Each structure stands twice: as C-alpha cells, then as structure tokens.
Chain A
Amino acid sequence: MTERRDETRIEQAIARLVAEGQISRRSFLRRASRGGLVLGSALSLPAILAACGIKPLSSSTPIAGPSGSTGGAPTPIPKAAGLLDWANWPAYIDIDEKGKYPTIQKFEKATGIKVSYTEAINDNEEFFGKIQPDLEAGNTTAYDLIVMTDWMIQKMIRFGYLERIDKSQVPNFAANADSLYVNPWYDPNNMYSLAWQSGITGIGYNPKLTKREITTFDDLLDPAFKGHVGLFSEMRDTMCMALLSIDVKPEEATVADVQKAGDKLLKAAKTGQFRSFYGNDYYDELANKNLWITIAWSGDVTQMQLYDNPDVKFVIPQSGGMRWVDNMAIPNKAAHPVDAHMMMNFWYDPANAVPLSEYIGYFSPVKGVPDMISKDADAAEAKGDKTTAAQLRVVAKTVNPTPDQLTHVFNYKRLTETEELAWNSVFEQVRTG
C-alpha cells in the first residue's frame, strides 16, 4: 500500500529534520496543519513534506501560506484557546442527577477551558458523511475532538483528515496507557488517535421477552422474535457478525463470503424479521422493550443493567464477537487543537479515568482502573453504602476484557475502497431492499 510507504518516508523526513535541529516538532505540526489546509484535498503527504521544507517531487501546486518561508524560526509553545468543541457518542460520559458532566466540569475548573460537549455521533458512517465535505474542502468541522471507531480512524487517516497528535502534550498517555492500546493495528504509533474506550460487539437481549437464553448469532433470525430484532445501521458490525456466523473470519473475508452472509440476512429481512437498523439509538429501544434481541455494544448493556433495565443481558455469540476501540482524534483544521490535547491528556490520568469507567462500564485504556474501582467499592462499603459498593464491584469486572473475551473476538478487516463499496452494496440490499 502506497500510503504506508509514504508514511515511512514522512517519518524518516521528520526524524532527519528534527535530528538536524532545523525545526521543532511543534512548529512542524503547526506548519504541517497549515500546509494541509491550503492544499485541502490533497493527501497530507505533500503538505507535510512542504512543512518540512521539502519540495514535493512532482507537485506543481504552490505552497501558500506563511508556512513556506521561515526555516528554523522558533515557534512559541502553543497556548490553549480556552474552548473545546467535543463530539462524542450518547451514553459515553459520566452524568450526575442534574444532567451535568462532573468529570468534564473538573477539567473545566482545572484548566479554565470551556467545553462544549455534544452527543453528536450516532453512527460512524453517518457522522463521517456529515463532516467529510468540510474536511475535503479544507474547512473547519466545528469540532476539536471527535471519537471514532478504529476502522473509521484508519479510513480517516487514509484520507488525511486527522491532525497528528503531539505526544509531548499528552505525557499521561505514555505513562498510563494499557499496552493493548499502544501502537494499534489501525494507527501505528498512535500518530493520529488515542483510545477513548473499547468494547465488544455482541448480542444484547431481554430474557423476559425472548423467554429463553441466547447463545448464537442465528438466534437473531429466530422467527419467534419477528419484528423485535435489531441490527446496526453500520455496515461493518452487522456484516462482520454475520460473517462470523458462517464461519468466516472478517479479516479474511472475500466479497463472495460477504455476499453469502448478506444473503443469509436478506432472507430473514424479507420476512420482516428485523424491526429496524439502528445507530446508538438501539439503546433506548432495547431498554424500553421494543427490541427483544439486538446486536449490541458491551458497555451499553452494563450501563443499561445499572441504570435503565436490570433484565437485559449481553452475550458474545458462539461464533464470536467483534472487538473495537473507539478513539479520540483531532479533525483537520480544528480551531482549538491544544485544548484537545489537554483533554486527551486529562483522560489518561487515572484520577479521571476511574469515575468515567465507574459510570460507563466499557473497557478502559488506562492501566490499573479495575483495581482502583475495587478500592472505591471498598471505600463505599466502609461508609456503609452497600448499593454503590455492589454496583462498583460489577463495574470493576467489566472494565477490562477477560482472557475469554479476548480470544473470542475478532478485528475488522482493513477494507480497500473497492472492497468497501462491494461490502456496502451487499449491506444496502439487506438494509433497504
């Protein structure tokens, strides 16, 4: 893949320049981003080379902007702007009874940065579709920090839509990140993304409504549940789970396999088996009993058990589940990148990661979180708060994957664009007929 080679070239260029002391890493980043904006649609390579002071070999595009001229002039350390626009998924942050976000408030108090937190993301593809035209045109997207799933991070890197992360501004990552989340498959060296939370795609169900326990993916196709089954509107989770059910590992799937898995779903879809195709909004449908059984995300079900519906259960089907990591990333031309870095750094401090995990119950990328939650449980019990203690003990068990959960789950396939189009067209048959 050419991008990969380009990446290496870029890395080498950076290493050389930084070693020669021509340019500080920070000024490089700033200039790279400016160059990227000016060139807009181009893959970030020429922009980055330009920022390094290297003339792209064949490019005739003039490098505009202030970045081109000054060679090694020291750039002042970037300052926080005092504002942060953050788009995240629903049910992905701790909330108190008043509907406020206590840990974000703590960040605001500590840094003086005003955070505008929105639950704007319901579906990776849909959110990408909304910001893509701006990114392509080189405009700001109105967000400084976004949370996207691993495969989407890979796709956005492919298009050059993300800002490089300046690791010197996130020292907590090197200090506290769990090794599972360092140098991941979708973003070597965490150049563009840091894990936010991670989890597993499996099946959520309400045994009171299904009237039996669920063990396999094919249970989703049981005619007894007709009209009360949910699938995801995102192609990858739905198709990969279906692929697993026909004994195909998603990473090795061919288009023919996808067609076969799609046909299996289509047959059921035609009978009205599926109620609808959901983004994160499946949560309410499962909690309020419209859905009896659905593809679901692990941490959501933990939260649902604690706060919304104690009956609901999560299971990784016998054929396997999908392992995913959601990541914090900074879209190109973000207005407040320094503030975004500070926010990322903030979450890699266990003191902040723990209250978050205690509330949302996904896998935490921060080392030692389960132990600290257990300690909080002990403290709550010492105070005589048995309910909280019991809740925390449940959560402590869910914030790190168990060995079994790690062997029974699979990664997404790195799709080329042609593959993605083919997979999408199969899925669309299932989704809209």
Chain B
Amino acid sequence: MTAAIRRLRWAIPYLFLVPGGLWLLIFFVVPMAVMASISLQTGSLGTGYALTWNFGIYPEAISQFATQFLRSFEYGIIVTVLTLLIGYPMAYTIAFRGGRVKNILLLLVILPFFTSFIIRTLAWKLILADQGFLLGTLKAWGLLPDGFGLIATPISVISGLVYNFLPFMVLPLYVALEKIDHRLVEAANDLYASRFQAFLRVTLPLSMPGVFAGSLLTFIPSVGDFVNATILGSRETTMIGNVIQSRFLDFNDYPRASALGFVLMAAILVMVLVYARLVGSDELTSG
C-alpha cells in the first residue's frame, strides 16, 4: 500500500496541475483550435462556411488592416511608457514611504476595479466632453477656443487606456520594490553612491522584474483593447480590436476576424520575446 503510494509520488505534482491544465485545455487550447479552423474557412452567413485551407487570408487581412495594426502597437507602446512613468514613482512612494498608510494607498490603487471597466471609461467621456465640466469651464473662462475637443482624438483614447491599465503597472512594480532590502541602498550610500546613483545601480535593477511584468500586463491588453477606442475614439483612432469586433459582429466575417486575432497574438508574442531579450527575462525567474 505505502509502497504503491510511494511509487506514485512522482505523479503528485502533476496531479496538482490537472485542474489548471484542464481549464487551459477547455478554455484556451480548444478555442484556439476552433479559431484556427475558422480562420481557414471561406463562405458567408447564407451559404455557410466550409474549411478550404485558405491561408491566403492571412497576408490579405494583414495588408488590409495594416494601418490599424500599426496604430494599435503605437498606442500600446505609448501607453506602456506612460504608465511606467506615472506608475513607477507611485509604486516607489507606496513601497518606501507608505508607512502606516501603505495598505490604504494600495487599496486606493485597486479601488477603481470596484466599478466596471465600461462605466469607468464612460465616465471619462463625460469628464472630457466638449461642453463637459472640464472643457466647458475652461472654455467659459476663455482659456480654450470654442471648437476645442479631446473626445474622438488619440489623446482621449490613450488617456483612457493609461487610466484603465495603470493599476496593472503599479501593482507588480510595488511587489518588486517592496521586496528590496533597504540595507542594500544604505550600503550603496556608505560606499559613497549618491542617492540618485544608489537608485540607478541598486533599486532600479532590483525592480526590473516588476518593470517587466508590469509592461507586459499593460502592453498586451492595451494593444488588443477595443473599448477605449469605441467609447473615446473616432474613425482615426480605430484599433485592431475594433476591427476584429466589427468583423465578428457587424459583418459576420468570422474567417477574417479569426485570422486577425491570430496575427495580433503572434505579433504580440514576437514583441514580447524581443522585449524579454532586451530586458532579460531571467530576472523574472530569479527574482
């Protein structure tokens, strides 16, 4: 009996993987396979779709929507850089200067999640409305010209994305910074490093796993996002997520929508791998 159990011990870690593995199989692998098959079908809603191994749809979809692809990656990079610039000082302050209110500050970072993503984005539409309380007031004071508007510009879409994904940057950064042994910074100071040098040579490198994780958590969802561009954007800010959504829902063009989804995924994967090479993903595992 015990011998049998002992012999099966090697399997125990794998058994722990079963629930997660099944979840991934059912909700990731299977849908991916279905999507792959749909992307290679041709037909229409009326005649039905049939698998014709139409690989030509991939280059066709890429060239047709190259503008939207490029725009999405451009926005994604801008959003990641901005959230990093805004999020790093925030996380730094909470981790090192938070003191007794640290937990409250963290709660404040998470607080927006208590309302729905859509509601929060719609709120921005009201805040930035042409005659809303922000621009309306500034216009009434004569600080802005009458025709000035932020909604339906790239500025409002990027602002919305930065706002919505900021917590995804702050939290991993906080975790990474919080772990840093402050005595290392003191040691650097003892060795005549200025505070800035100590930050640059000690704190920043040690927080890189947080920077890496935070960048991925903001970059990936913001590239694929369609909510912000729908609510805050215009024709000129159409992102690839909008194209996929309208291909699926408005045009019932399932093959092209699936193909675009795959291309997006592949492109993100490539960019992440390049980024991992540059930043060094081994810090993720060693940290």
Whether A137 is near chain B, meaning CB under 8 Å from some CB there, is no
The stretch among B17-25, B231-239, B269-277 that forms the contact with chain A is B231-239
Whether B99 is near chain A, meaning CB under 8 Å from some CB there, is no
Q: What separation, in Å, do the CA atoms of A431 and B251 have in the docked complex?
A: 13
Partner of A428, one of B129, B147, B233, B251: B251
Interface size class of A (residues with CB under 8 A): 20 to 34
Further pairs besides A290-B151, A417-B45: 20, Cβ < 8 Å: A125-B249, A126-B249, A129-B250, A129-B252, A132-B252, A227-B149, A228-B149, A272-B236, A274-B234, A274-B235, A275-B151, A276-B233, A276-B234, A276-B235, A289-B131, A290-B149, A424-B251, A431-B235, A432-B243, A433-B236
Q: Are A275 and B44 in contact (CB under 8 A)?
A: no
Of chain B, the residue at the smallest CB distance from A132 is: B252
Binding site for A on B (CB under 8 A): 44-48, 67-68, 126, 129-132, 147, 149, 151-152, 233-236, 238, 242-243, 246, 248-252
Q: Are B46 and A159 in contact (CB under 8 A)?
A: yes
A-B contact pairs, 28 of them (CB 8 A): A41-B48, A123-B250, A126-B250, A128-B249, A129-B249, A129-B252, A132-B45, A132-B252, A227-B152, A235-B250, A269-B235, A272-B235, A276-B233, A276-B235, A288-B132, A289-B131, A290-B129, A290-B130, A290-B131, A290-B151, A417-B47, A421-B44, A431-B235, A432-B68, A432-B242, A432-B243, A432-B246, A433-B235
* Chain A residues with CB under 8 A of B233: 276
Q: Are B248 and A129 in contact (CB under 8 A)?
A: yes
Q: What separation, in Å, do the CA atoms of A282 and B151 have in the docked complex?
A: 14
| Interface set, chain A 121-154, CB cutoff 8 A to B | 123, 125-126, 128-130, 132
Of chain A, the residue at the smallest CB distance from B153 is: A227
B69–chain A nearest beta-carbon distance, Å: 12
* Chain B residues with CB under 8 A of A158: 46
Q: Are B234 and A275 in contact (CB under 8 A)?
A: yes
Q: What separation, in Å, do the CA atoms of A288 and B45 have in the docked complex?
A: 38
Q: What separation, in Å, do the CA atoms of A142 and B6 have in the docked complex?
A: 51
Of chain A, the residue at the smallest CB distance from B131 is: A289
Whether A238 is near chain B, meaning CB under 8 Å from some CB there, is no
Q: Are A288 and B131 in contact (CB under 8 A)?
A: yes
Of chain A, the residue at the smallest CB distance from B231 is: A281
* Chain B residues with CB under 8 A of A288: 126, 129, 131-132
Q: Are A130 and B45 in contact (CB under 8 A)?
A: no
* Chain B residues with CB under 8 A of A269: 235
Whether A233 is near chain B, meaning CB under 8 Å from some CB there, is yes
Q: What separation, in Å, do the CA atoms of A129 and B46 have in the docked complex?
A: 14
A77–chain B nearest beta-carbon distance, Å: 36
Partner of B67, one of A125, A129, A289, A433: A433
With A276-B152, A432-B235: A289-B130 Cβ-Cβ less than 8 Å = yes
* Chain A residues with CB under 8 A of B238: 432-433
A234–chain B nearest beta-carbon distance, Å: 8
A386–chain B nearest beta-carbon distance, Å: 31
Whether A277 is near chain B, meaning CB under 8 Å from some CB there, is yes
- Closest A-B pairs by Cβ, 10 of them: A129-B249, A417-B46, A289-B131, A125-B250, A276-B234, A126-B249, A432-B238, A275-B152, A290-B130, A424-B251
A342–chain B nearest beta-carbon distance, Å: 31
* Chain B residues with CB under 8 A of A428: 246, 251
Q: What separation, in Å, do the CA atoms of A126 and B242 have in the docked complex?
A: 12
Q: Are A277 and B235 in contact (CB under 8 A)?
A: yes
* Chain A residues with CB under 8 A of B149: 227-228, 290
* Chain B residues with CB under 8 A of A129: 248-250, 252
Of chain B, the residue at the smallest CB distance from A425 is: B251
A429–chain B nearest beta-carbon distance, Å: 10
B279–chain A nearest beta-carbon distance, Å: 34
A121–chain B nearest beta-carbon distance, Å: 12
